[in-house]
A and B are shown apart, each in its own frame.
Chain A
Amino acid sequence: MSKIIQDAYIVAATRTPVAKRKGAFANVRPDDMLAHVLKHAVAAVPGLDAKEIGDVIVGCAMPEAEQGMNVARIGLLLAGLPDSVPAITVNRFCSSGVNAVAMAADRIRLGECDVAIGAGTESMTIMAQMMGNKLAANPAFYTDENRAIAFGMGITAENVAARWQVTREQQDAFAVESNRRALEAIAAGKFRDEITPYNVCEHLPDFASGNVKIRERLFENDEGPRPGTTMESLAKLRPVFAAKGSVTAGNASQMSDGAAAVLLMSEAALKRYNVKPLARFVSFAVAGVPPEIMGIGPIEAIPRACKLGGVTKEQMDWIELNEAFAAQSLAVIKDLDLDPAKVNPLGGAIALGHPLGATGAIRTATLVHAFQRDPKLKYGMVTMCIGTGMGAAGIFERV
């Protein structure tokens, strides 16, 4: 157990709806999305003196261009938070969001501050390439030892599917279920509390009048889930990454845009502001695995996080396992013997989308709000695999 002087509690967690790449957020900047969630996370605690925020830590997997320039600091300034509040952008690819939450918790746990924010933002509309704006591979990749650094994520998923013997049918069935759960959850309004709708304003030419027209639309629900996803419809899709492979666009995560922010406090601050926390931060861990099978990262990370938190994986009542690919999700579920009913009860990234560096913070918001709906839940986890071979897991407790 790490040496901490106080616990960190989540008091607010909110996110944008997740848009498909080039969808509702096609013309929305990631720094603006970040400002939106920061503002609303802070507003969730009436009377909070924002100057008390010790740090704003923001995850982003491709921090360049519109989400470059230390997007964390840009976002907080745009959100109107005090100049005195500092901010840092962190990057561990797909775990960046939950990693940011863990780092914010650590600030509090070490006694460096009483209030901190962990967040994430990502626009894959503007940053679609896996190497960012400028492709610049290192010639040293192409040795036998290093070649896997150059592997696309799809190839690693094919590798996992082959080694863990996950069939195409199993992957497609998993994808169908993810879509089914997500659509059901949206219909039942289960994401309503965690989402802060975004008023999308776009400057468009009105050719009739010759003026620029501002079009406003309120974006409220995740747009990723595909109604009518069936085994038959998925069976028609061709493997994308390998000639005789099993990974398709239908059983892989979607490229998406979105942001989320999680506000954390020490017990002292809870009392001072008289707020009821949504959850207690328990532990967080990361672990490395071979890059060519990066999808199995959670298999190494989850036991570490459990050990650090003094809990067992069997105690987890709700697991947000990022569905980078159905293949790796199924391998993780199988190896760790996780209960499929407890994994992604509201669907996962195959349906809901995966805005890389934001996902960890987004799914933290999903988890802590699930705690509010169901008093039987005790422990929950946010976990994911990470490109170039890592896994991350963060554990939270209902309080």
Chain B
Amino acid sequence: MSKLYIRKVAVLGAGVMGAQIAAHLANADVPVLLFDLPAKEGDPNGIAKKALDGLKKLKPAPFGHPSRMALVEPANYDQHLAKLGECDFVIEAIAEKFEWKEDLYKKIAPHVKPGTIIASNTSGLSINKLAQAMPETHRPNFCGIHFFNPPRYMALVEIIPCVTSDAAMLDNLETWLTSRVGKGIVRALDTPNFIANRVGVAYLLMVAHHTQRLGLTFDEVDALTGTKIGIPKSATFRLLDVVGMDTMGHVINTMKNGLPNDPWHAHYAVPEWAQQLIAQGALGQKSGRGVYYREGKVTKVLDLNLADYRDSKGEIAPEVDEILKIKDAGEKLKKLRASAHPQAQLLWSIQRDIFHYCAVHLGEIANSARDVDFAMRWGYGWSRGPFENWQAAGWKDVAAMVAEDIAAGKAMANVPLPDWVGKLDGVHGADGSWSVQQGKRLGRSTLPVYQRQLVPELLVGEKSAVAARQVWDNGSVKLWVRDDVDPDIAILSITTKMHAIGRDVLTGVLEAVAIAERDFKGLVLWQEAPFAVGANLKEVVEGIKGGDFEELEHFVAEFQRASLSLRYSQVATVAAVQGMALGGGCEFTMYAGARVVAFESYIGLVESGVGLIPAGGGCAHFAQRASELSKQVAFGEPFPFLQNVFMNIAQGKVSGSALDAKAMGFLEPADTIVFNPQELLYVAIRKAREMHEAGYAPPSHPKAIVAAGRTGIANCEMALVNMHVGNFISDHDYRVAKAAALALCGGDVETGTLVTEDWILAIERREFVALLKTPETQARIAHMMDTGKPLRN
């Protein structure tokens, strides 16, 4: 395969998608030219600039750190087309009008250098038809590339080849998008709305259809069709509000116009109530009202029976809820089908119809059932795709039930299940996933980039082929090895719920480090996201109840020993972080010998939320770091390097990305950021090996930390006094933050005093236990355990 270097990308069209795609490429350190039409007045780049400005306020944030905005250069078609010659990749993301795209392609083609990949982010137009608008020389490098909104956060990118697409180009592009941009790629066939939106929109229409047929209300259907069935909490109608009724209307029309012979064609229509909302300008979130709107703190929902809005309730009937609690998927589906309750009938009907739909259309839209299921997982956030749900509930039983309903005229289309359905026990198996075109199960992609994904995401019916050799296990952590990657690097994984750190995790870490020092050349700390949500509060509460504060101090001391063991281990330790790394999870991260961090990592010392301070070495780490950094500055003092750290700890701030975590000091500048979390373990193992080969030796314990001392504490307190008198913080917030200041500044000693690591660790323990004894901190911990949210007291 020829090498692909993408030095610069041009994104054509600074709309919602174009600008956000540009932002995410900038996150991945790729310079981007963001084109739009020249503004009629003022700065000719005004339109692209305005779009970029708009990204600053967008939630969730498109940029991992505001500084990345500098990588996106606004441009316009009048002045800057020549700059297309600098680009190795051009993404067209303008409005969905064929003629406009055709014009644009003609305009850009002469400026694009040979070999540059050109891709359209169209969500509906035919890629083959668009390819015809491209001069012949560019056609081998043309394809569709379909991002999902918001592109930074939705893993899915559909690549849609056209008949002229060069196979090597497609492989190169897939590799780049996977590894460099961190996306999950599905190759889709060139049919209207491709895979995810085809299935997703059909599904939404099915839910809308049965909602009305069964006389259910929007809020109760959203309660039924969200997290209860493995779909994000935006569920059905809330999702419509997020997407926008008008946008949804366009996508439905693409199917209505492009699929005249589809057995479901009659259902490709915007429901009448939605048409009325569109006519009223109630398009959803962007216009402040759609199916829902908010009135102060109250959510109002449209009720078709009242022809008006009312307070949203969204209650699930107890008998239906009971069925939903059943673990066995097959039994659950059968019970839903058997129940006469309209809520149960809805849940069965939508499953039946989407199974039916996917079975009939599989061969037309996708190369295999795997692509459909991954498209729905990555593009719509479903925990399982439709074929997985079917297979999990028992392939043959469900097929029989669906066939029975079709025969009885209950299904939404009068077309039988395809023959292949009856011949299989399931679409997914050890040998791959069913492909209608091939008439057999198709294995996974053999592209080398997937070799870097050591623990691939599995579908229902697939078996892990991971060659894991278990070394040690204490029920809360396990130590294992990937002999196929590096038999000398041990992998330590926390296995507790949410990877909370309790006593067994601490002893497990200490034991694992000891084993690694004895038998291995490096140790990687890795588990699936979240990395770790902090200390196990349940164990802390038990300690408080027993009133054994001495024991609690031992627990903290053990925590510190575990952190320190990672830093002072004789073999290299690497923290492989993804998702949340909070409290103790953040401290383990900071204390590891090196860090390999997924871009989507949310790192912070959040102890103040439960009325505590970082006491697993977090404060000592920053005190030492500030002392070191101050020595790099003429007449340097540690306090300036502690000022922001103090505020972050006092307010329990969490980074919005790995980039942000670097800016906040939770990561070191040299730490590796990995865009695809699936590659994290691979990179971490390689990193540990590299450190070993470079002759790894741990740092020595610092014995001369320059303390910010009394003036430093007074400086921190200055901020606290003002926030307190301004009623931004409570008495207890003040107390907690002051305790953190005390530890960060090395205690109530003269500024500039040299102190040791042990000295600061002792302050951490003392302050931690003192806070634990206060009723306010105890109330915060209890509240966090009950509600998962911090208590302000």
Residues of A that sit less than 8 Å from B by CB: 134-139, 141-142, 147, 150-152, 154-155, 158, 241-245
Contact = CB atoms under 8 A, between A and B. Distances in A.
Contacts of A134: 637
Nearest to A152: B722
| Residue of B640, B710, B718 with most partner-chain A CB within 10 A | B718
Interface string B604-642: 000000000000000000000000000000000101100
B572 to A, nearest CB: 38
B714 A151 contact: no
Contacts of B717: 137, 139, 141-142, 150
Contacts of A158: 726
B718 A245 contact: no
A139 B718 CA distance: 9
B725 A137 contact: no
28 contacts: A135-B640, A135-B643, A135-B715, A136-B711, A137-B717, A137-B718, A138-B714, A139-B710, A139-B711, A139-B713, A139-B717, A141-B714, A141-B721, A142-B717, A150-B718, A150-B721, A151-B721, A151-B722, A151-B725, A152-B722, A154-B722, A155-B722, A155-B726, A241-B722, A242-B726, A243-B726, A243-B727, A245-B726
Interface in B677-732: 710-711, 713-715, 717-718, 721-722, 725-728
B753 to A, nearest CB: 14
A243 B637 CA distance: 33
Contacts of B710: 139
Contacts of A147: 721
B712 to A, nearest CB: 9
Given A137-B711, A141-B721, 14 more contacts: A135-B640, A135-B643, A135-B715, A136-B711, A137-B714, A142-B717, A150-B717, A151-B725, A155-B722, A155-B726, A241-B722, A241-B726, A243-B726, A243-B728
A244 B711 contact: no
Nearest to A140: B714
A151 B721 CA distance: 7
Contacts, number: 54
Contacts of A150: 717-718, 721-722
B727 A142 contact: no
A137 B715 contact: yes
Contacts of B715: 135-137
A110 B330 CA distance: 103
B727 A244 contact: yes
Interface of B: 637, 639-640, 643, 710-711, 713-715, 717-718, 721-722, 725-728
A78 B711 CA distance: 37
A138 B721 CA distance: 13
Contacts of B639: 135
A244 B726 CA distance: 8
Nearest to A130: B718
B70 to A, nearest CB: 15
A147 B714 CA distance: 11
B722 A141 contact: no
B707 to A, nearest CB: 14
Contacts of B722: 150-152, 154-155, 241
B136 to A, nearest CB: 38
A141 B710 CA distance: 12
A241 B723 CA distance: 8
Nearest to B710: A139
A128 to B, nearest CB: 14
A139 B726 contact: no
Given A139-B710, A139-B711, A139-B713, A242 B727 contact: yes
Nearest to A137: B714
B644 to A, nearest CB: 12
A155 B725 contact: yes
A150 B721 CA distance: 7
Contacts of A151: 721-722, 725
A150 B717 CA distance: 9
A242 B718 CA distance: 15
A335 to B, nearest CB: 23
Contacts of A135: 639-640, 643, 715, 718
B163 to A, nearest CB: 45
Nearest to A136: B711
Contacts of A243: 726-728
A242 B721 CA distance: 12
A1 to B, nearest CB: 42
Nearest to A153: B722
A136 B716 CA distance: 10
A68 to B, nearest CB: 14
A135 to B, nearest CB: 5
Which of B637, B710, B713, B715 lies at the interface centre, i.e. has the most chain A CB atoms within 10 A of its CB? B715
9 nearest A-B pairs in the assembled complex, by CB-CB distance? A242-B726, A137-B714, A243-B727, A139-B714, A137-B718, A150-B721, A152-B722, A135-B715, A139-B710
Nearest to A141: B714
Contacts of B643: 135
A229 to B, nearest CB: 22
Given A135-B639, A135-B643, A136-B711, A141 B718 contact: yes
B714 A142 contact: yes
A103 to B, nearest CB: 31
Contacts of B725: 151, 155, 242
Contacts of A136: 711, 714-715
Nearest to A138: B714
Nearest to B722: A152
B742 to A, nearest CB: 12
Nearest to B711: A136
Contacts of B640: 135
A142 B640 CA distance: 21
Nearest to B728: A243
Nearest to A292: B725
B213 to A, nearest CB: 47
Contacts of B726: 154-155, 158, 241-243, 245
A142 B721 contact: yes
A368 to B, nearest CB: 38
Contacts of A244: 727
Contacts of B721: 141-142, 147, 150-151
Nearest to A142: B717
A158 B724 CA distance: 13
A263 B562 CA distance: 70
A241 B637 CA distance: 28
A72 to B, nearest CB: 25
Among B639, B640, B726, max chain A CB count under 10 A is at B726
A242 B725 CA distance: 7
A141 to B, nearest CB: 6
Nearest to B725: A155
Contacts of B718: 135, 137, 141, 150
A151 B726 CA distance: 10
A141 B721 CA distance: 10
A154 B639 CA distance: 24
B650 to A, nearest CB: 15
Nearest to A247: B726
Nearest to B717: A142
A138 B717 CA distance: 10
Contacts of B727: 242-244
A136 B726 CA distance: 22
